[in-house]
């Protein structure tokens, strides 16, 4: 068992580093050090930050070794310096950042070989190694967002996702009311905000079988959705008028059709693909316009994990096994969401598709702790973000690696955010007679 854990940790760390190399080797040093948007860090900051976090947690804390570069800790402290100001810091240049991250990784792999994976919460089940692999993959997703924001020709390529179709699928699926187990107390690499497992009771509701498509969202636009105050939360109405927003980010109307820019390529907006790059306010407005609502976080998780046959909660919609390529669009394997209706092998027991991968899905819920929450291993991962300012997203996107994506995984962001790979699906309360 210990050697299996060691291999799992090694594979996760290696996969993350290979992806980091892909994201930072496809552009020149000028592109690495430039700030492509004030919303994001320069790519070279992310690269060195990845190495610094690995040094602090695995080299210094787990192994108890002396700091390698303590003078750069402050520079790469994400809480000390807002993204917009990071280009003004004394950053390591690309060559230095690569050497530093590589040096740390070599030392860490030696530590992994020697560390007993038991005897404390940081090392039990190789948790700290899994945490760092997840951290790196989360920054890889962040760097992929930066690539989407950068101007200029395409720097990344990937094959197209598999074909799929929602034809023949019901528009919505009934999720029965009653209790279910939310969160986890057993997933070895689950982060603190996913814990502990606890029972929730959810009334019966209906949820979209697939995410809302670009084609459906175009109908909202063409029906004057962005011009009708009725559909918008007050803050969202103010946001779209202040910033002259009338469509998802990266969309534009030209020659009678909608086009979008995707990783340096301009293309027609695909009608059958999940809509992407919409804020929580836009998702909420669409849902109101459609006579529906966004699902709560608990509803989303019940739709994704609850098995009505056994009454238990699965790790993933399809079962307890780790994601395979047939289950979900994850890991930057493709540079876009798959058409709705794809991945039938990833369907939940209730018949809901694409709950994992493709697009992060906005929920109506604020980011709050579960009953019995305990911060671990540091407050700044989750606890400092709890409250009504941040909304919860679920399910992961095509940019999320499987190591950082579970049926219990919780993401959160400000409701104005549009650069993230977020879409949504809608829900509604079950009417009398529909609940059985």
Model confidence pLDDT, tens digit, residues 287-308? 999 999 999 999 999 999 999 9
Beta bridge partners, 267, equal 260
Model confidence pLDDT, tens digit, residues 6-48? 999 999 999 999 999 999 999 999 999 999 999 999 999 999 9
Distance between CA atoms of residues 204 and 371, nearest Å: 23
2 — pLDDT class (breaks 50, 70, 90): confident
312 — pLDDT class (breaks 50, 70, 90): very high
Distance between CA atoms of residues 280 and 199, nearest Å: 27
Whether the bond between 91 and the residue before it is cis, its omega within 30 degrees of 0, is: no
Model confidence pLDDT, tens digit, residues 367-410? 999 999 999 999 999 999 999 999 999 999 999 999 999 999 99
Distance between CA atoms of residues 312 and 310, nearest Å: 5
433 — pLDDT class (breaks 50, 70, 90): confident
Q: What is the DSSP string of 263-308?
A: TTEEEEPPTTSBP-S--HHHHHHHHHHTT-BPPPHHHHHHHHHB-T
Q: Which pLDDT belongs to residue 157?
A: 96
Mean pLDDT check: name the lowest of 93-97, 333-337, 357-361, 431-435: 431-435
Q: In what order do the strands lie in the sheet with 205-208?
A: 172-175, 205-208, 427-429
Model confidence pLDDT, tens digit, residues 120-172? 999 999 999 999 999 999 999 999 999 999 998 999 999 999 988 999 999 99
Calculated CA dihedral for residues 261, 264, 266, 270, nearest 10 degrees: -60
Distance between CA atoms of residues 269 and 292, nearest Å: 24
Mean pLDDT of 226-235: 98
Average pLDDT, the chain: 97
Q: How many CA atoms lie within 13 A of 305 on its CB side?
A: 26
Q: Which pLDDT belongs to residue 435?
A: 77
Model confidence pLDDT, tens digit, residues 168-188? 999 999 999 999 999 999 999
Q: Which pLDDT belongs to residue 436?
A: 67
Distance between CA atoms of residues 206 and 183, nearest Å: 21
Q: Which pLDDT belongs to residue 32?
A: 98
Mean pLDDT of 310-328: 97
Q: Which pLDDT belongs to residue 262?
A: 98
Calculated CA dihedral for residues 210, 325, 367, 215, nearest 10 degrees: -30
Q: Is the pLDDT of residue 1 over 80?
A: no
pTM over 0.95: yes
Phi and psi based region of residue 168 (left: phi greater than 0; alpha: psi -120 to 50; beta: remaining): left
Q: Is the pLDDT of residue 219 over 70?
A: yes
Task: Tell me the two tokens of residue 269.
Answer: 């907006």
Taking a C-beta distance cutoff of 8 angstroms, is the pair 9, 112 a contact?
A: yes
Distance between CA atoms of residues 27 and 15, nearest Å: 20
Model confidence pLDDT, tens digit, residues 409-423? 999 999 999 999 999
Q: Which pLDDT belongs to residue 103?
A: 98
């Amino acid at each position: 068992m210990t050697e299996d854990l060691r291999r799992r940790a090694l594979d996760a760390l290696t996969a993350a580093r290979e992806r980091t190399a892909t994201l930072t080797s496809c552009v020149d040093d000028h592109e690495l050090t430039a700030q492509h948007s004030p919303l994001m860090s320069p790519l070279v900051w992310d690269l060195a930050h990845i190495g610094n976090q690995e040094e602090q947690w695995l080299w210094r804390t787990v192994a108890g070794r002396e700091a390698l570069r303590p003078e750069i800790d402050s520079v790469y402290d994400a809480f000390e310096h807002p993204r917009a100001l990071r280009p003004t810091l004394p950053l390591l240049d690309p060559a230095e950042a690569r050497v530093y991250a590589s040096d740390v990784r070599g030392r860490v792999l030696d530590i992994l070989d020697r560390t007993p994976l038991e005897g404390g919460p940081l090392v039990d089940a190789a948790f700290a190694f899994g945490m760092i692999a997840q951290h790196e993959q989360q920054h890889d997703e962040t760097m992929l967002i930066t690539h989407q924001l950068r101007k200029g020709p395409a720097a990344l390529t990937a094959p197209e996702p598999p074909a799929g179709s929602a034809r023949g699928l019901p528009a919505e699926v009934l999720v029965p009311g009653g209790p279910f187990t939310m969160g986890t107390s057993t997933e070895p690499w689950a982060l603190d905000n996913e814990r502990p497992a606890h029972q929730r009771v959810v009334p019966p509701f209906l949820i979209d079988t697939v995410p809302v498509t670009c084609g459906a969202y175009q109908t909202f636009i063409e029906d004057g959705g962005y011009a009708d105050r009725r559909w918008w939360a007050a803050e969202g109405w103010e946001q779209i008028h202040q910033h002259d927003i009338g469509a998802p980010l990266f969309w534009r109307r030209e020659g009678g059709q909608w086009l979008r820019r995707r990783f340096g390529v301009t293309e027609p907006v695909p009608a059958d693909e999940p809509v992407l790059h919409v804020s929580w306010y836009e998702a909420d407005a669409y849902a109101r316009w459609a006579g529906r609502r966004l699902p709560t976080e608990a509803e989303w998780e019940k739709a994704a994990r609850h098995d009505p046959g056994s009454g238990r909660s699965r790790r993933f919609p399809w079962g307890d096994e780790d994601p395979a390529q047939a289950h979900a669009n994850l890991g930057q394997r493709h540079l876009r969401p798959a058409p709705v209706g794809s991945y039938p092998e990833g369907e939940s027991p209730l018949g809901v598709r694409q709950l994992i991968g493709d697009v992060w899905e906005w929920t109506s819920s604020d980011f709050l702790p579960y009953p019995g929450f305990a911060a671990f291993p540091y407050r700044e991962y989750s606890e400092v973000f709890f409250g009504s300012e941040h909304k919860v997203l679920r399910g992961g996107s095509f940019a999320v690696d499987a190591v950082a994506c579970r049926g219990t995984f919780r993401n959160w962001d400000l409701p104005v955010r549009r650069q993230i790979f977020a879409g949504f699906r809608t829900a509604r309360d079950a009417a009398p007679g529909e609940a059985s």
